[in-house]
Amino acid sequence: MNRVELEPAYVLHNRLYRETSLIVEIFGRNTGRLGLVAKGARRPKSAMRGLLQPFHPLLLSWSGSGELGLLIAAEADGYVRPLAGKALFSGLYMNELLMRLMHRHDPHTALFHHYAVALEALAHGQRTDAVLRIFEKQVLESIGYGLVLDRDIDSGEPIQEDFAYRYQMERGPTSHVSDDADGVTVGGETLLSLARGSLESDRVLDEAKQLMRVVLRRYLGEKPLATRSLFRARSHSAGTTGR
């Protein structure tokens, strides 16, 4: 039986299991996404009660090599800066994205670092849409579907900031834009900004959002993201209340 000791990890999702336990989906730095049974974690005197929450940096120990491991111990791994409001919904969206796109037992060490950096950026009040677009790009790179952002796929020429391109799915950007071409139209400035990981202007952020939404739809399938629907409902409710 395999045993893992003090693995840096984050909880992506948990659900009730039997009367006092949880099934916890985690993202481990060296182990990737996997499920663990946390026996008795909901008991009032459990040492793990309150620890197994999203966005808390943890050190986890478990045993087992099958579909579900058995969580043995959990401890905090540093200070937890809470997320609230739009930052909280953004963090939940990131977790759902990882749950949908990462296979279990497939390590993504670099992505684990990017995830921690993104959480820190959200906690410090950085612009959420910029944080999410960069993280989406990093997720796609990590799972083998990285975007071509630096060159025209037909001519091979470097992307020009003031050109318009058509980003074709599974190919990349081309300056041979026509109305009947598949994909989404995006400016060269947006492609280069996304490549640099620096999104600032409203126009660039809007174009990056449209591009990433179209690209992600190909890999997420037709099932909508629950967090996206939840955020839209919250925004609509807040708007209605304000009127």
One digit per residue, the tens of pLDDT, for the chain of length 243 reads 589 999 999 999 999 999 999 999 999 999 999 999 999 999 999 989 889 999 999 999 999 877 899 999 999 998 888 899 999 999 999 999 999 999 999 999 999 999 999 999 999 999 999 999 999 999 999 999 999 999 999 999 999 999 999 999 889 999 986 655 678 999 999 999 999 999 999 999 999 999 999 999 999 987 888 887 776 666 655 554 443
pLDDT of residue 181: 63
Based on the fold, state whether residues 64 and 99 are members of the same structural domain: no
Question: What is the residue range of 58's domain?
Answer: 3-76
| pLDDT reported for residue 112 | 98
Instruction: Give the pLDDT score at 66.
Output: 75
Query: So what's the pLDDT on residue 235?
Result: 61
Provide the pLDDT for residue 243: 35
pLDDT at 80: 81
Whether 111 and 179 share a structural domain: yes
Per-residue confidence (pLDDT) for residue 169, from 0 to 100: 86
Asked if 183 and 118 sit in the same domain, the reply is yes
pLDDT at 241: 40
Residues 114 and 219 reside in one and the same domain: yes
Q: Within this chain, do residues 51 and 114 fall inside the same structural domain, yes or no?
A: no
226 and 114 assigned to the same domain:
yes
Radius of gyration of the chain (CA): 20
Whether residues 45 and 160 fall in one domain: no
**Residues in contact with 89: Cβ distance below 8 Å, sequence separation at least 6, in sequence order:** 227, 230, 231, 234
Domain of 224: which CATH number? 1.20.1440.120
67 and 130 assigned to the same domain: no
Domain count of the fold of the chain: 2
What is the reported pLDDT for 211? 97
103 lies in the same domain as 221: yes
Both 92 and 201 in one domain: the answer is yes
> At 21, which CATH number?
2.40.50.140
